[in-house]
Amino acid sequence: MRAIVVHEFGPPEVMKLEEFPAPKAGPGQAVVRVHAAGVNPFDTYMRNGTYAIKPALPYIPGGEGAGVVESVGEGVTRFKPGDRVYVGHPITGMYAEYTLALESQLHRLPERTTFEQGAGLYVAYGTAYHALYHHAKAHASETLLVHGASGGVGIAAVQLARAIGMTVIGTAGTDKGLELVRHEGAHHAFNHRNPGYTDAIMKATGGRGVDVVLEMLANVNLATDLKLLARFGRVIIIGSRGDISITPRDLMARTASVRGFTLWGISEAEEADVHAGLFAGLENGTVCPIVGKELPLADAVRAHKEILETGAHGKMILRP
């Protein structure tokens, strides 16, 4: 099969399009024909060799995607060849024509959802759902700031928060991003590159502050987030690329908290909850993944450069 293969950790150029042996399904496993693979920032950290998870070399990148079950191994009962699925954290990477996954790593993709949309479900929507429901324990009466709302996780968070009735404020770094954030349901959208935009956020809450912040770039924003919180506010750290100093008294004054997580640490029960919620959302239309950029598999190097640049517009995918 054709696959992007990494033989050594390093810059995007270490990814090569090669012929690679196609996987075979063992007991409890399935082979999925990949129609679209999601591109995520963590794919780039992993390829660099700087991520907490360092795969054995050579490896195929890509932690999520969507496609059709090609074959199943002994003992697989919930899926059969021909089923449409989205896949999260499979055994082999998704930047390839086929991937190998455990049965538990497959999730049913409703007919109305395209493979391109499905490729952006597991990480972005899984993270946003887990952050909102399990970590922030968000409520309809609360105000949410999605700090970095134009990307994969941000758009998912805006849609999910609107679906439960929250008041939603989102930020983006471009006019196109702001338009998307508003279109997907944010009541207010502000440009995180404009000086004074945090004053505008505070003003939008009538000076009260926000109840929950979902933070995509904590190393830049965490200190400011604390000052934007209402009483009993919660900052949930989703993304961070470095260190930052904060003023602990900002938390004390508000009886506020900061919490971080990675999707890798989700429990089985929480994961079941997430995918039940996402399936229902896909069926009733409140979950509607936005694919901003589609590139052929051969353009994986370009994808890894562009995913770290500003100007996010929903999800980026690769097509094998």
Residues that bind ligand NAP (CB under 6 A): 40-42, 123-124, 127, 147-154, 171-174, 177, 192, 216-217, 220-221, 238-239, 261-263, 307, 310-312
Report in angstroms how near the CB of residue 170 gets to ligand NAP at its nearest.
8
With respect to ligand NAP, which residue has the nearer C-beta, 11 or 27?
Answer: 11
With respect to ligand NAP, which residue has the nearer C-beta, 50 or 310?
Answer: 310
Burial 43-65 (b: 16+ CB within 10 A, else e): bbebbeeeeeeebeeebbbbbbb
Answer for the pair 115, 64: CB distance below 8 angstroms, yes or no: no
DSSP 59: B
With respect to ligand NAP, which residue has the nearer C-beta, 65 or 173?
Answer: 173
Report in angstroms how near the CB of residue 308 gets to ligand NAP at its nearest.
7
DSSP 289: -
Cα(105)–Cα(85) distance, integer angstroms: 10
With respect to ligand NAP, which residue has the nearer C-beta, 23 or 154?
Answer: 154
Partners of 143 in the β-ladder: 167
CA nearest 243: which of 227, 212, 213, 221?
221
Report in angstroms how near the CB of residue 11 gets to ligand NAP at its nearest.
18
With respect to ligand NAP, which residue has the nearer C-beta, 67 or 152?
Answer: 152
With respect to ligand NAP, which residue has the nearer C-beta, 35 or 89?
Answer: 89
Other CB atoms within 10 A of residue 11 CB: 12
How would you classify residue 314: left for phi > 0, otherwise alpha for psi between -120 and 50, otherwise beta? left
Report in angstroms how near the CB of residue 1 gets to ligand NAP at its nearest.
26
Report in angstroms how near the CB of residue 59 gets to ligand NAP at its nearest.
19
Answer for the pair 221, 199: CB distance below 8 angstroms, yes or no: no
* Cα–Cα separations (whole angstroms), residue 71 to 19, 109, 251: 20, 17, 52
With respect to ligand NAP, which residue has the nearer C-beta, 72 or 312?
Answer: 312
Q: Take residue 134 and report the two structure tokens written for it.
A: 């399990």
Report in angstroms how near the CB of residue 196 gets to ligand NAP at its nearest.
14
Count, in order, helices (H) and strands (E) of the chain.
Answer: 10, 15
Report in angstroms how near the CB of residue 80 gets to ligand NAP at its nearest.
30
**Closest residue to ligand NAP in the complex (CB):** 151
